[in-house]
Chain A
Amino acid sequence: MNLAQLILISLCGAFLTYLLGKASSRIRDTFAVFISLLLIIPLFCLYGKNEEITYYSFLGLPLILKITPLSWLFAIAVQTITSLSVIFSLSYMKGKERLDFYYLMLLLVNTGMLGIVLSADLISFYIFWEIMSWSTFLLISYNRGPALHAGMKYIVMSIIGSASMIIGILSLYVNCGSLDFVQIASFIPRTSSGYTLFILILFCITFGIKNAIAPFHTWLPDAHSEAPSPFSAVLSGVLIKMGTYGFILFMYTIAGLNIIINIGGGSFHYLISILAAITIIFPTFIAVLQDDAKRLLAWSSIAQVGYIILGIAIGTGLGFVGGVFHFFNHAAFKALLFLSVGAVEYRTGTRDLNSLGGLIKKMPITFFCALIGVFGLIGMPLTNGFVSKWLIYKALILGEHPFLAFIALFGTWGTIIYSYKLIHNIFLGQLPEKFSNVRKAPVTMRIPVIFLSLVVVVFGILPGIPLKIIDTISASFGFQPQDIQIWGIASETGVLNMVNIFAAIFAALIFVWLLFLMGRKKINIAQDDSYAAGAYVPKDKYNYTVDFYKPLSGMIKPYLRDFVDDFYLWLADVIRTFSDKTRKIYCGDLGYYISYIVLFLAVLIVLKMGLKIW
């Protein structure tokens, strides 16, 4: 199966799903799962191949699809996350309205993403990018209510991004004469650095918006929290990473390592890194203040993207490997967390962190998977998040960016703060009476979640598997290749041996467990049998989940408003006011209208005779 057929199958699959839905919802569900899983197989088979195919000609421009190791990695992540999300949707979305439309859009987004990562020229990149953008918009708005506002925010920023991108693309076309990545890559070194910077800035705006880098992040919290949960997983797991893909593409495939490092006196990639650092630090602490589980995760996504971009932009091989690996990991554990929260929402009907609690008794599997996800998010050893973060930190420290490293490391503590809040407020604490009948999540919800947590753990202990692939990518971009082993990474200034660490931790756990068994046998007691100064407190009065970090939020809340968002809203308001003023030109009075005509005539004559404008 060649690449064009792959995309075509994906596209037709999407529409076929829609049509089948008209016949029977059961067939549609089965088919959606089938088509999304089916596509993984050829993608896997494409590993290591270097296939290129020109599939269409648009306005005289050849549209090319090509698979490279980088796009293979992204494509696999995209397809896997989408498949899991489709599987999850089966029960999550059951009984909701307009499901045909939902599946169509979900698979269309998938097609768009596959197209983005597989395309080898800018015009098909743009086309797939836009298809992804608007279908995402339709999906974000799916949940009605506040989702509309979120969708609006998303699409406006997205359109701004694509406007910037199309200017960049066409400017490249005008100057280079081709939109093939290879040709552009050979063109860029020949052009002036000012022009390269202009192009890079244009594209950084686009990818920054999609990727939610600091001044462009404002669409993300709304969109992620309001979208249907399975789609939030796709959104956060892979869709925003299309921006990351774009960053890598432009910084390393098209512009090339040397140019990126040296352009603007070396300040460009440093500037991006600083933006990424800002993206880490503020959203992390804004996430601490959130009371909506998905909103919290959304802010966390922004922060984690900051890590990815920080790793990629810092310009060393170690950082690049870490950044790309963190992309992969973030896709896994953030999708996992969104799906877990989705499962909770499905069973309880709420995702308000202040009213949930104690669900560990009711949904143990979901809890443990979410716990693994949270560990990955924090970067606890034995999860994949640890390895990638370790690589990023090490790159920063050895690259002598101690302040960036500080921000990245300190962000981790913020991560602990909010992820503990997430876990605690949903699963721990006391179970409110109203949730006493909650059942465990259905099978189709558990499968993706369990699979993803396995990914998190396995790649945490044996990080060499994906790191080898990533290292070939980084080597192909001209970075120093790393010494990757199956158990981790060895480099001149330090070894990371995850198997060793795993053995140590495992042995220690066993030891402590034996110690634990040595003591007198424990007695299991009910959760409400808890010390309360001698009082017996009835159920439902003991739920300490409200304002979990009250002292902290009291201190930092005034400084952590999303000023950028406020600024954008103000801007929108200004435009609205201005548009209202513009509208007043059409005042309804015929006399004015005629005077417009006469005045315009007069102005034209004056311009010609008096000012010689034209």
Chain B
Amino acid sequence: MDRNDIKKWFKSPDKMGDKYSLWAIYFCTGCGIIEIPPVITARWDAERFGVIPVATPRQSNLFLITGYVSVKTLRAIIRTYEQMPEPKYTVGFGSCPINGGMYWDSYNTIKHLDKYIPIDGWIAGCMPRPEAIFVAVTHLWTLIDQGKAKAYVKYREKYGLYRKNQEMALGKLDWPPLYTTGGGND
């Protein structure tokens, strides 16, 4: 952890700021809701890494999707993601967002979340323990440092594709497109 490295702060304040001030908005369903509170309370205390829960997407730059994603909640996830200011990072938590997990054959769950919004990293497991979140955070630090956590850029560039996927799952969306770029199937 290079939080106290002042030289780095002067060199790239944006990256350092992003790294050590990850304000997270959680999208918690199912068992995910059980795992998050220990992370932010006394037992594990995410705040010492600068990770704090915030109430609105406008204030956040880390999006944690924990638990399965149904068709109905997907709409809210997309909306929330689009309302977050850039730079923004997403982490899928648990197997459900990755591939449906134990709901792999349900008619009403979204199996591959990354078809709809870009994901920077996954935490596998069913359910992963809270420590896994810290692993994910440290990993995200590395990615930010290396400039690889650019999922939001991908979303902007391939917005047409994402939008098409979203509309395929949800039907016609009632809000206007966020970006005008990136049409086609690509």
Once the chains bind, are A531 and B174 in contact (CB under 8 Å)? no
CB-defined interface of B150-186 with A at 8 Å, one 1/0 digit per residue? Answer: 0000000000000000000000011110000000000
Once the chains bind, are A538 and B56 in contact (CB under 8 Å)? no
Once the chains bind, are B76 and A534 in contact (CB under 8 Å)? yes
The number of residues on chain A lying at the interface, defined by a beta carbon within 8 Å of a beta carbon of chain B, is 8
How far, in whole Å, are A373 and B27 apart by their CA atoms in the complex?
45
How far, in whole Å, are A529 and B175 apart by their CA atoms in the complex?
9
How far, in whole Å, are A534 and B58 apart by their CA atoms in the complex?
11
Report if B79 contacts A (CB, 8 A): yes
Once the chains bind, are A531 and B77 in contact (CB under 8 Å)? no
Report if B108 contacts A (CB, 8 A): no
Other A-B contacts than A531-B58, A534-B27, A534-B80, 13 sampled, CB-CB below 8 A, are A529-B83, A529-B175, A531-B57, A533-B76, A534-B76, A534-B77, A534-B79, A535-B75, A535-B76, A535-B79, A536-B79, A536-B173, A536-B174
CB distance from B135 to the nearest CB of A (A): 27
How far, in whole Å, are A534 and B83 apart by their CA atoms in the complex?
9
Residues from chain B with a CB closer than 8 A to the CB of A531 are: 56-58, 83
How far, in whole Å, are A275 and B174 apart by their CA atoms in the complex?
58
CB distance from B180 to the nearest CB of A (A): 14
Residues from chain B with a CB closer than 8 A to the CB of A535 are: 75-76, 79
CB distance from A533 to the nearest CB of B (A): 7
CB distance from B142 to the nearest CB of A (A): 24
Residues from chain A with a CB closer than 8 A to the CB of B83 are: 529, 531
How far, in whole Å, are A534 and B175 apart by their CA atoms in the complex?
12
The number of residues on chain B lying at the interface, defined by a beta carbon within 8 Å of a beta carbon of chain A, is 15
**Minimal Cβ-Cβ distance residue in A for B14:** A520
How far, in whole Å, are A538 and B174 apart by their CA atoms in the complex?
8
**Minimal Cβ-Cβ distance residue in B for A536:** B175
How far, in whole Å, are A124 and B176 apart by their CA atoms in the complex?
69
How far, in whole Å, are A534 and B76 apart by their CA atoms in the complex?
4
Residues from chain A with a CB closer than 8 A to the CB of B175 are: 529, 536
A contact face: mostly helix, strand, loop, or mixed: loop
How far, in whole Å, are A148 and B86 apart by their CA atoms in the complex?
60
CB-defined interface of B54-84 with A at 8 Å, one 1/0 digit per residue? Answer: 0011100000000000000101110110010
Interface centre among B79, B173, B174 (most CB of A within 10 A): B79
**Minimal Cβ-Cβ distance residue in B for A534:** B76
Residues from chain A with a CB closer than 8 A to the CB of B73 are: 534
Residues from chain B with a CB closer than 8 A to the CB of A534 are: 27, 73, 75-77, 79-80
Could you tell me which residues of chain A, from 522 to 548, have a CB within 8 Å of some CB in chain B? 526, 529, 531, 533-536, 538
Residues from chain A with a CB closer than 8 A to the CB of B174 are: 536, 538
How far, in whole Å, are A194 and B58 apart by their CA atoms in the complex?
70
How far, in whole Å, are A529 and B75 apart by their CA atoms in the complex?
14
How far, in whole Å, are A533 and B73 apart by their CA atoms in the complex?
11
How far, in whole Å, are A534 and B27 apart by their CA atoms in the complex?
10
Residues from chain B with a CB closer than 8 A to the CB of A533 are: 76
**Minimal Cβ-Cβ distance residue in A for B73:** A534
Residues from chain A with a CB closer than 8 A to the CB of B56 are: 531
CB distance from A518 to the nearest CB of B (A): 12
Residues from chain B with a CB closer than 8 A to the CB of A538 are: 174
Q: What are 14 A-B contacts defined by CB distance under 8 Å?
A: A526-B176, A529-B83, A531-B58, A533-B76, A534-B73, A534-B75, A534-B76, A534-B79, A534-B80, A535-B75, A535-B79, A536-B75, A536-B173, A536-B174
Could you tell me which residues of chain B, from 35 to 68, have a CB within 8 Å of some CB in chain A? 56-58
A-B complex: 4 closest residue pairs judged by Cβ atoms: A534-B76, A534-B80, A536-B175, A531-B56
How far, in whole Å, are A538 and B175 apart by their CA atoms in the complex?
9
**Minimal Cβ-Cβ distance residue in B for A522:** B85
Residues from chain A with a CB closer than 8 A to the CB of B176 are: 526
CB distance from B127 to the nearest CB of A (A): 22
CB distance from A520 to the nearest CB of B (A): 9
Could you tell me which residues of chain B, from 69 to 105, have a CB within 8 Å of some CB in chain A? 73, 75-77, 79-80, 83
**Minimal Cβ-Cβ distance residue in A for B55:** A531
Residues from chain A with a CB closer than 8 A to the CB of B27 are: 534
How far, in whole Å, are A538 and B176 apart by their CA atoms in the complex?
12
How far, in whole Å, are A531 and B56 apart by their CA atoms in the complex?
7
How far, in whole Å, are A533 and B28 apart by their CA atoms in the complex?
12
Residues from chain B with a CB closer than 8 A to the CB of A526 are: 176
CB distance from A527 to the nearest CB of B (A): 13
How far, in whole Å, are A529 and B83 apart by their CA atoms in the complex?
8
How far, in whole Å, are A479 and B137 apart by their CA atoms in the complex?
73
How far, in whole Å, are A533 and B173 apart by their CA atoms in the complex?
17
Could you tell me which residues of chain A, from 504 to 529, have a CB within 8 Å of some CB in chain B? 526, 529
CB distance from A516 to the nearest CB of B (A): 15
CB distance from A534 to the nearest CB of B (A): 3
CB-defined interface of B19-37 with A at 8 Å, one 1/0 digit per residue? Answer: 0000000010000000000
Interface centre among A526, A533, A536 (most CB of B within 10 A): A536
How far, in whole Å, are A529 and B79 apart by their CA atoms in the complex?
10
CB-defined interface of A532-574 with B at 8 Å, one 1/0 digit per residue? Answer: 0111101000000000000000000000000000000000000
**Minimal Cβ-Cβ distance residue in A for B176:** A526
Residues from chain A with a CB closer than 8 A to the CB of B57 are: 531
CB distance from A385 to the nearest CB of B (A): 35
Residues from chain B with a CB closer than 8 A to the CB of A536 are: 75, 79, 173-175
**Minimal Cβ-Cβ distance residue in A for B56:** A531
CB distance from B117 to the nearest CB of A (A): 12
How far, in whole Å, are A533 and B76 apart by their CA atoms in the complex?
7
CB-defined interface of A170-195 with B at 8 Å, one 1/0 digit per residue? Answer: 00000000000000000000000000
CB distance from B65 to the nearest CB of A (A): 11
How far, in whole Å, are A533 and B58 apart by their CA atoms in the complex?
11
